[in-house]
Amino acid sequence: MPNTPSLATLADDLDSGRTTARKLVEKCLEKIADPAGEGARAFVHVDKDAALTAADAMDRLRKVDAAPSRYAGIPISIKDLFDIKGQVTRAGSRALDDSPPAESDAAAVSRLRGAGFVLIGRTNMTEFAYSGIGINPHYGTPKGVWNRSQGHVPGGSSSGAAVSVLDGMAHGAIGTDTGGSCRIPAAYNGIVGFKPTQRRVPLDGSIPLSFTLDSIGPLARSVACCALLDSVLAREPIQPLHPRPIPGMRLAVPTTIALDDLDPAVAETFERALKNLSSHGAVIERIEVPEFLDIGPMNAKGGFAAAESYAWHRYLIVSKGDVYDPRVAVRIMRGEAQSAADYVDLINTRRSLIARTYARLAPYDALVLPTTANTPPRIADLADDKAFTTANLRSLRNCTLINMIDGCAISLPAHREGEVPVGLMLAGVGGSDRRIFELAAGLEAVIRV
């Protein structure tokens, strides 16, 4: 993303007086309001007055050396899945229109406020986060970066989050990732998206899709920007990110499932990136990961997402089911047919899956694989339910592998300027988040050469 500032650059500009929080917020608000842009579809709510008030407060605190962090005053967007005190959380749906305003901030939102970030608004999303495509029939679908005049999907479910960063309507975004919902929009829009080890960021105050798989992560312009936001979300010390040298990196390419049925552009871009890494000294080994073959059968009845979303929605969908997106409702209702025994089997099978996969991946620094099997499809081509289902499964497939093994992963843009967006994913076992950031920072610039 040329000519777009990093969070560190913005912090330097604020510290030096070259800009102010108010100016940053006003510029973002201007871009959101641009009738020629995607702001009306990327955001479901823009809290202009509160954002400007918060910006002014951060400017005053900075003048007396009392800013809560050097990033105080930088505007970021929040996915419409998180509670923000005084606002209604709709999760991209109309079924929650009459819900009461939240009485407190979600834990993730509270931590961002504590660091002084300014909440610019709530971003659009797939209804109840149940799709990797990003289409929303209630609030419209923001167009992704690719071939925008034709209208390609932004990726989901954190669709508006990615577009807000892409178009400079925010300088970072917070999304969720149950099966790729941070990484898919990042891949489809040429930015960076991170899925942390789930336990590191509390889910309190966010509407669940699957409390077993849901993770809260950032979307931003660079690896370092994502690492910074991740530290805030996890309430960990903000530390300099030191890129790992590429020579000697031990990267495994899983040949099981992850490389099947790739779009030609995805396959070509991925292989080019691997060649670049190898030429810079990375040790790349193609390995079978037979454990991944267990995941399809585990999800045959809808998996954790169907069972756990049905448990949350089962009363609401009876009274408000007529206003649900039918493509979302049908997936939720798959959970109704699952038995308690089915669910217990899922838990036990996943526990075994995690243990066996961790043992297999122990010799390597990370897995490397395409973020999605497909490039972003045209919105118009997905009017047919069959076409939508096919595209959705292909967008989710590789990312879901990592959620199911309780891992962490980052998607980096791997395409060259002018090419269709393609994401490269680095993934590791649970708890290896810092290593994944360091590896990603090391290869960030190299993979696109």
Q: Tens digit of pLDDT for each residue in 342-401?
A: 999 999 999 999 999 999 999 999 999 999 999 999 999 999 999 999 999 999 999 999
Ranges of residues in the chain whose predicted pLDDT is under 70: 1-3
How many Å apart are CA 253 and CA 269, to the nearest integer? 14
In sequence order, the 6+-apart residues with CB closer than 8 A to the CB of 64 are: none
In what helix (H) or strand (E) does residue 121 lie, and over which residues does it extend? Answer: strand 118-123
Where would I find the H helices in 129-263? 159-166, 183-189, 223-233
Q: What is the dihedral of CA 418, 193, 95, 337, to 10 degrees?
A: 110
Residue pLDDT, tens place only, 315-341: 999 999 999 999 999 999 999 999 999
Cβ contacts of 415 within 8 Å, gap of 6 or more: 190, 265, 269, 421, 422, 448
Query: Distance between CA 260 and CA 111 in Å, rounded?
Result: 40
* pLDDT number for residue 4: 84
Distance between CA atoms of residues 169 and 189, nearest Å: 14
Cα dist from 190 to 197, 308, 315, 358, whole Å: 23, 32, 39, 30
SS3 at position 442 = helix
Contacts of 305 (CB under 8 A, 6+ apart): 130, 178, 179, 209, 210, 213, 331
CATH 3.90.1300.10 fits 1-291+352-449, yes or no: yes
- Write down the pLDDT at residue 1: 45
CB 429 within 8 A of CB 403: no
Predicted confidence at residue 3, as pLDDT, reads: 53
Nearest of 92, 252, 61 to residue 158 by alpha carbon: 92
CA 22 – CA 29 distance, rounded (Å): 10
Structure tokens at 11: 């912090």
Query: What pLDDT is stored for residue 2 in this prediction?
Result: 45
Separation between Cα atoms, residue 248 and residue 246, nearest integer Å? 6
CA 69 to chain centre: 24
